[in-house]
Amino acid sequence: MKLVCCLVLCGLLVALATPAKAQNRPVSNRPGRFLSLPNPQKCANRPKQFFFRGHNYFFTGHVPQYANRKVDWLDGRNLCREYCMDLVSLETQEENNMIFRLIQQSTCKISCTTAAHSITP
């Protein structure tokens, strides 16, 4: 009986230690939405439209397939994560000014919400 229990336990450990196939979205029994996993092919060919202070930026409003697409924060973050990138996180006033100018010059409609403040240029 001890041998059977030991074999079952070993089988469970092997099953848990076996890496799952990397899919775009993790599978879960919990309700809700999840972060996408990076896509190696997209990461290797990620778009870099411009460079500012040591960072590359990609503005989806300049790309026809994304220009008129409206998404919420999580879907936007997931799009970025598939390319091994993340949504912009403004760390300095200079970076804020650069992004603000980009939004002002954009022909696409942009609406941002942060905390309780809505920003629409």
Residue-wise pLDDT tens digits, 29-46: 667 888 899 999 999 998
Instruction: Count how many domains the chain has.
Output: 1
Question: For 66-115, what is each residue's pLDDT tens digit?
Answer: 877 888 888 989 988 999 988 878 889 998 898 888 878 876 655 554 44
pLDDT the model gives residue 6: 37
Q: Is 4 inside a domain boundary? A: no
Greater model confidence, 40 or 56: 40
Residue 9 counted as domain residue: no
More confident residue, 16 or 73: 73
According to the 3-state scheme, what is the secondary structure of the chain? CHHHHHHHHHHHHHHHHCCCCCCCCCCCCCCCCCCCCCCHHHHHCCCCCEEECCEEECCHHHCHHHHCCCCCHHHHHHHHHHCCCCCCCCCCHHHHHHHHHHHHHCCCCCCEEECCEEECC
Q: Decide if 25 is inside a domain.
A: no
Does residue 110 or residue 14 have the better pLDDT? 110
Residue 11 has pLDDT above 80, yes or no: no
Which residue segment(s) compose the domain that 55 sits in? 33-119
